[in-house]
Amino acid sequence: MSNFLFNDKEDRQENLISVFTDLDSESDEKFVSIDVKEEMPILPIRNMVLFPGVVLPVTIGRKPSLRLVKDAERKGMQVGVFCQKQSDTDDPMLDDLHNVGVVAKVVRMLQMPDQTITVILQGFRRINLLELTEYVPYLKGRVKPMRDIMFQKNDKEYRALVDAVKEQAIKYVRLSDMVPPDSAFAIKNITSDFFLVDFLCANLPLKKDEKIELLMMDSLKDRTYRLLELMSREVQLAEIKASIQMRAREDIDQQQREYFLQQQIKTIQDELGNGSRRDIEEMRKKADSIKWNEDVKQTFLKEVDKLEQMHQQSPEYSMQLDYLKTMMALPWGIYTNDNLNIQNAEKVLNKDHYGLQRVKERILEHLAVLKLKGDMKSPIICLYGPPGVGKTSLGKSIATALKRKYIRMSLGGVHDEAEIRGHRKTYIGAMPGRIIKGMIKAGSSNPVIVLDEVDKLGIDVHGDPSSALLEVLDPEQNSTFHDNYLDVDYDLSKVMFIATANNLQNIPQPLLDRMELIELSGYLTEEKIEIARRHLVPKQLDANGMKKGEVKFPKATLEAIIEDYTRESGVRELEKKIGKVLRKMALQYAKDGYLLKNDVKPADLRGYLGVQEYSRDKYQGNDYAGVVTGLAWTAVGGEILFIETSLNRGKGKLTLTGSLGDVMKESAMLAVEYIKAHPQLLNIDVRVFEQWDIHIHVPEGAVPKDGPSAGITMATSLASALTQRKVKANIAMTGEITLRGKVLPVGGIKEKILAAKRAGIKEIILSEANRKNIEDIQQMYIEGLTFHFVKDVKEVFDLALLQDKVADAIDLTVVEEHKTKEEE
């Protein structure tokens, strides 16, 4: 309602009655039939709509408007009052004003305490604004009066409509706290239906556009219907608001009651001597600064309330306190800033690890994707390969490159699911699992966690820890990792998990599917030499109290240690041997006060490391028929092996020796069957297979051997033995054979080639499909080698077998069998 109608509380009701009585004493026709001048001053107002018969206070701020109302009061002029379309328009034009307004007169001008001018306007007749004719010193315009369609006094429908409007207005006044309660009394005493409707239109808290809509209606009956709709809406909103306030008041009353009860409990506890609750209050304060979600926060506060009810001397108190401290220690929402500079990461990886080019490329690809995506979600990587190749240290280098916290978690021998997920906190001695402990130790929610020896997990009656890891290592699930101890979800999606393993066969397939596999094969001798020179020797010098460069290991010495004293794919044993040499020298230095020599020569190794522990096979020439050099891959690198075939008279029996596996035995049988089926290739009599026994042997019989890669080697050995032809000197081969004589590709090519080169081999026969593997090897490793790529065993025979026979060739004549008369 218009504030100017209400003065002090004592005379508010009296003034209301007098104002409304004065207004009602004038007939409705006065407002709808007043003469309107064709041109008059135009007063734009903001966010207010004046209706006929209504008195409205307006604060005047613009200088042109102030001059207009002063002239209008002094001269008694009519003023056209129009509402602006936009309240922020300072100098409105014709398009900025609604075209429907009201003719008004200035009743009074008041200067308020804050020095602003408020003018009281009374509306009369509705008018249309046709155009603006003057802009200085204030707006003037041409207007046209609008016709109002009044109601019939004997219209019962309209009478009921007005009564309904009045009831809704009174109901709204009683519900709303924005309107003085005395206004209901005033509304009851308005006798003019015309004024009642326009008064309510002007003073109800309706939207400006809704008021303009009401003012534009020519029919008073239509205007009343529309007003009733809008009032019904406002009454419903007021009822809802009142209901909400009532419920809120009830909640506040309940909270106050609980507060007083809590205070009483605290007082009782103080009397009992249990008043030391500072740590609980500190927990509540700290909870406000931790960046956890609302559900976790509510769980935490609920557990704090539970702690507050416990006696300090009870066992449950310390368990509950430990639980809450664990929750607060977790790095909720704390992340370190990733350094996703690819050049820097490459520099760190190259500094810490020599070789492993493909592995480094794969890791850099992961970092590049992480940089492009920008969502901090990390891949799940599994580095697998033989021991000592740098899997764990590679994970540490990744953390250094990213500038993330590094946590190593050894899983070897873990056989309890609770080690991963934690124990339920109801148990005595319960604690969170290793994952949550690692997060607390890291102090951030995006560390690099190395799950070391993931293939060594065990299973027993306590559960399967590898199954618990399924949730940890699944990018779709680990954002809500559930630890049994915490009993709330924790987000692990930003953690970069790097698992390491030696043997993928021991990892369950569901767990394997969740990881990106990156193989770290064994180091070559050349790579081991560089690793020793760059990393191992300086490290051992420092470990044994010697200065850098004080003792030197030439390349030949390092190669001798690798070849003669170690047999491994990694460099752990090599580091131990270097350390052993330096300890022997340190002992001599401690005794004599000086070093006898600074350079360790290969000849000196026997004195430091004892007799040679291992020996590599060397090429043994081509003096014997049936002896062919093959190439094999082992967990500690490549090796050459010899396939030996001997013949002796018998009944065609095939004997295989040398601890051969099933696949290797099948390769031997395939070679025999192929030569039986194609004797014309070697110009041999097929009956030789019936009269001569064949014995195939692979030396080092105590060492188990298996795999298909010796297929063409066995076929060539058989061919040489059956023809007694020499095998080409300094040639080796590897490849799988089929029953049709096709040569298929095999693995471990790089390791096999380097083993061949060390053994003095000059030529190597491979499957055509292995050509791509040769192209990937650095030129320095294959220099001096000639490669022959074949598709069929016939090509192998043509390349490997010479026409010359060995010196002591066996006479493989076939004995003619005499036929009996019955056979004839």
The residues annotated as belonging to the active site are 709, 752
Cα separation, 626 vs 719, in Å, equals 7
Cα separation, 442 vs 404, in Å, equals 9
Q: If you count DSSP H runs as helices and E runs as strands, how many of each does the chain have, helices first?
A: 30, 24
Cα separation, 146 vs 791, in Å, equals 104
Cα separation, 348 vs 337, in Å, equals 17
- The answer to whether 301 and 287 have CB atoms below 8 angstroms apart is yes
371-377: list long-range contacts, CB under 8 Å, 24+ apart: 371/340, 371/342, 376/335, 376/338, 376/446, 376/494, 377/475, 377/493, 377/494
Q: How far is CA 521 from CA 298, 432, 558, in A?
A: 50, 36, 21
Contacts of 270 (CB under 8 A, 6+ apart): none
Cα dihedral 38, 39, 43, 45 in deg (nearest 10): 40
Angle formed at CA 504 by CA 501 and CA 509, multiple of 5 degrees: 120
Q: Which amino acid is at 531?
A: I
Contacts of 193 (CB under 8 A, 6+ apart): 151, 158, 162
Cα separation, 529 vs 554, in Å, equals 10
Burial 690-721 (b: 16+ CB within 10 A, else e): ebbebbbbbeeeeeebebbbbbbbbbbbbbbb
Nearest alpha carbon to residue 762 among 794, 784, 746, 779: 784
Strands laid side by side in the 516-519 sheet? 406-410, 448-452, 496-501, 380-384, 516-519
Q: How far is CA 157 from CA 152, 164, 225, 738, in A?
A: 10, 11, 11, 105
Residue 504 DSSP class: G
